[in-house]
Amino acid sequence: QVQLKETGPDLVQLTQTLSITCTVSGFSLTTYNVHWVRQPPGKGLEWMGAMWNGGGTDYNSAFKSRLSISRDTSKSQVFLKMNSLQTDDTAKYFCARQFQYWGQGVMVTVSS
Amino acid sequence: DIQMTQSPSSLPASLGDRVTITCRASQDIGNYLRWFQQKPGKSPRLMIYGATNLAAGVPSRFSGSRSGSDYSLTISSLESEDMADYYCLQSKESPFTFGAGTKLELK
């Protein structure tokens, strides 16, 4: 069955870099797109970007050049990296297959 | 960026009520509109895709419709398990954008 699971740190220091891995099973990354979405505590959903099945990427310009999405198809993993973290980057980060299947999310706190 | 204006932000309702949540798109998005349900501490659940298509496993009391640039999610007869937050999402154009959300709660 289709599964996605995010793994990453609980806590990241201010101005440091966040790295989260989305490990998928039950489908191929070369067939389906994977999106990253985040949700600050008590707030709404925000689309961050996507890894397209063809290997291209798309980013929300709100993150300017801070955000990078990549993948390793042999390991069925999609990676999110975001640098220069601020306290308002504290959020739950989700990966999702074409918005139909979602991971459980990983809660990341940015601490000073 | 395409703005999705979702209303209301909060919707008190009683069991058995018919309720409607609306998103208005700032530009043409065709039918590239999805609706999600999210319960506390859980991941979003896809309810409607293509503006009007029911996702797999979603009860038939849920429906989606479109009138021009207004997109609606309707629950025909509210059940207790429907109490949740609801979000719309446009995927016509990057950056994809969510509505601000609607909190559906018991009156």
Q: Which amino acid is at A112?
A: S
The contacts of residue A41 (CB under 8 Å, 6+ apart) are: A90, A91, A92
The contacts of residue A54 (CB under 8 Å, 6+ apart) are: A30
Distances in whole angstroms, Cα of residue A110 to Cα of each of A9, A13, A37, A56, A90: 10, 6, 17, 29, 5
- Asked whether A107 and A89 are in contact (CB, 8 A), the reply is no
- Is B91 within 8 Å of chain A by CB? yes
Q: Which of A45, A60, A61 sits opposite B44 (nearest CB)?
A: A45
Q: Does the pLDDT at position A111 exceed 90?
A: yes
Q: Which residue of B5, B96, B102 to mutate against A (max A Cβ within 10 Å)?
A: B96
- Is B32 within 8 Å of chain A by CB? no
Per-residue pLDDT tens digits for A16-34: 999 999 999 999 999 999 9
Q: Compute the average pLDDT of residues A72-90.
A: 98
Report the candidate in B73, B68, B7 with the shortest Cα–Cα distance to residue B36.
B73
| Interface size between A and B, measured as CB pairs under 8 A | 51
| Nearest chain A alpha carbon to B102 | A44
Q: Which of B45, B55, B96 sits opposite A47 (nearest CB)?
A: B96
Q: Does the pLDDT at position A64 exceed 80?
A: no
Q: What integer best gives the mean pLDDT of chain A?
A: 97
Per-residue pLDDT tens digits for B8-43: 999 999 999 999 999 999 999 999 999 999 999 999
- How many residues comprise chain A? 112
Q: Compute the average pLDDT of residues B50-55.
A: 98
Q: How far apart are CA A68 and CA A75, in angstroms?
A: 18
| A102/B44 touch (CB, cutoff 8 Å), yes or no | yes
Q: Does the pLDDT at position A69 exceed 80?
A: yes
Q: How far does A110 lie from chain B, in Å, by closest CA?
A: 19
Report the pLDDT value the prediction gives residue A112, as an integer from 0 to 100. Answer: 86
- Is A112 within 8 Å of chain B by CB? no
Q: Compute the average pLDDT of residues A67-71.
A: 98
| B43/A47 touch (CB, cutoff 8 Å), yes or no | no
> What is the CA A37 to chain-centroid distance, rounded?
6
- Is B86 within 8 Å of chain A by CB? no
